[in-house]
Amino acid sequence: MTMTLFEQAGSLRIGVVDFVSPDEVKVVLDIEAPESVELNTGGPRPFPRVNGYLLIPVDDGFLVGQTEWITVERSPFPKRRGMQDFGLVDLPYPLRKLRLNPLGTLRHQEKAGEYIFRRGAAALPSVGAAVLLPTETQLCSIVESGEKRRVKIGTSPIAGDKEVSVDPDRLFGRHLAVIGNTGSGKSCSIAGLIRWSLAQATKSRQDRLPNARFIVLDPNGEYSRVFRGDDTINSRIFTVDPDEGKGEIPLKVPLWFWNSAEWCSFTQASAKTQRPLLRRALREIKSGQTVGSNVYQNGPDEDVPLYFQGTDLANHLEALASQEKVSKYLDSLVARIRTFLSDPRIKRVIDSPTNDITLYQWLMDYIGAAASAGSCVSVIDLSLVPTEVVHVVTAVIARMTFEALQRYAKLNNKTLPTVMVMEEAHTFIKRYKEDVENQNAASVCCQVFERIAREGRKFGLGLVISSQRPSELSPTVLSQCNTYLLHRISNDRDQQLIHQLVPDNLRGLLRELPLLPSQNAILLGWASELPVLVKMNDLPEVHQPRSEDPKFWDVWTGAEERRISWEEIARDWQEGSSEHQSEATSDIEQVSQEPAGNNDEEFSNVPF
């Protein structure tokens, strides 16, 4: 026997509205309302439940509310529908109440025969309005709301394990922040988002490799195994110490790629004394001119990536200082350059004795080849890059990618969609003091990502940042992220920052952040019509980044063996140190007692 709409609404009613305001609705539950499980919506479902969804009829559909809290008050009589119990003995009786945060409106489309959820509400209910449980169809429409939800990323535990899918254009196009404590599942979520997106794109292209580009900046070396050996993904692994048997490629970021700001931060050039001459030397050496040539009008810009050798720059600076009779102000700068360039750890990454790496080939390898070559995931392992140069290397890779996509858009009048992932973002996109005269390499690196966050969308570059300390991130970058995937966060300061990023009526769900188990996260922002708790899809162990916790007990008890060979480690550690003696040892001893950048006042009258 079928029920009328009124009969169906009556069977789904669980209470009435007791209080209404624009940001909250309080509900008094009927005494007949379920106490733990409701069965009349198409299947068993927990009720009442914090963060669950309820409906209130309004003029143009249903107001969707999310439960923030549930409480019990004492009433002098039980309130039953259709019954007047005022004559009962005045004894305390439990009266259940809950608070709803209004999220949006659920409307029924007659032609399509389905419900459509939209954020915002044109009308609010009145006191006494019925509060209803959503049916299975309505619940699906709420959780799976939004257009072009092409990629399934998980299920929603608070909505009967309904599928949660996203539109990659929304997820990656306006930047994504993945935030959570260590071990909460951030890296697995990012690896999964890349893999699931590429798998769905491959399926949509009838098993042809998709024309996609992901660049993963990996400071901990976690992603080297994630995409290896997968025929559906054309991945490349760039690392300082490559294993050719595994197809790894040497990481090269030639020093002639660097712009003047990166050179100044790398060499710690003082603002008023050394920086102008360093820029002049870069202009002259890139133009192939001799010392003192007039390249200001017809020479190349000092930031153009034109080939030169690092030793040529040091020699040119010495000659320029001698010509201008300012050698005493540049000795420390030249010594630092020679010292860095003679360090074998740094040299293997940035040095290019011959022009064996062209700009064209670098762009092909790191950003990706033509569409016929299939999808490209470039994993750039930064774990073995020396600390002295890791921020500059990261900044150069990010900037070169951004500027290459800028030029692509200029020449083709369309963008080349590319996604850049920055792991451990609190290290590379850390807030800095803008009033500091001499910016260090970390500040320059952060400024590159701030520019990508502000302008990247215009040129097809989406940014994904992963961090366990959002309070240390650059406010500029964090504010430009339009979508957040929030894993477990227990730090009070970080929780407070996250709460400031969302409207007041959406903060109820965020209170679950300290309680979230691994693999669970809250998705909110541009890629999701409403905040939703997601249990991310399972990821096979072979596709997971190397971020598992150390197994102390298994090693202690012998369940897992550990072979120890400190001799092998010492040999690997010291390998190559005797082959490259520093050319600037004497300079280091001379400069070590001389503070850098203390000659600004004396040097202010020197002509450039």
Domain boundary assignment for the chain: 5-143, 165-252+359-547, 253-356
Q: Name the 3-class secondary structure at 464.
A: strand
User: Could you give the dihedral angle defined by the CA atoms of residues 115, 117, 118 and 120, in that order, rounded to the nearest 10 degrees?
Assistant: 110
pLDDT value at position 220?
Answer: 93
CB burial of residue 272 (10 Å; 0-12, 13-18, 19+): middle
Q: Residue 465 above 50 pLDDT?
A: yes
Rounded to two decimals, what is the model's pTM?
0.85
For 86-132, the pLDDT digits (tens) are: 555 555 567 889 999 998 899 988 777 788 888 888 889 999 999 99
For 164-184, the pLDDT digits (tens) are: 999 999 999 999 999 999 889
Q: Residue 597 above 80 pLDDT?
A: no
Nearest to 453 by CA among 427, 483, 413, 432: 483
Identify the CATH class of 165-252+359-547: alpha beta
In which band, very low, low, confident or very high, does the pLDDT at 504 lie, cut at 50, 70 and 90?
Answer: low
Helices marked H in 413-525: 425-428, 441-455, 475-480, 492-500
513 Rama class: left (phi>0) / alpha (psi -120 to 50) / beta? alpha
pLDDT value at position 356?
Answer: 78
Cβ neighbour number for residue 315 with a 10 Å cutoff: 16
**Length of the chain as a residue count:** 608
Q: Name the 3-class secondary structure at 117.
A: strand
Q: Residue 292 above 60 pLDDT?
A: no
- The amino acid at residue 450 is E
In which band, very low, low, confident or very high, does the pLDDT at 430 lie, cut at 50, 70 and 90?
Answer: very high
In which band, very low, low, confident or very high, does the pLDDT at 600 lie, cut at 50, 70 and 90?
Answer: very low
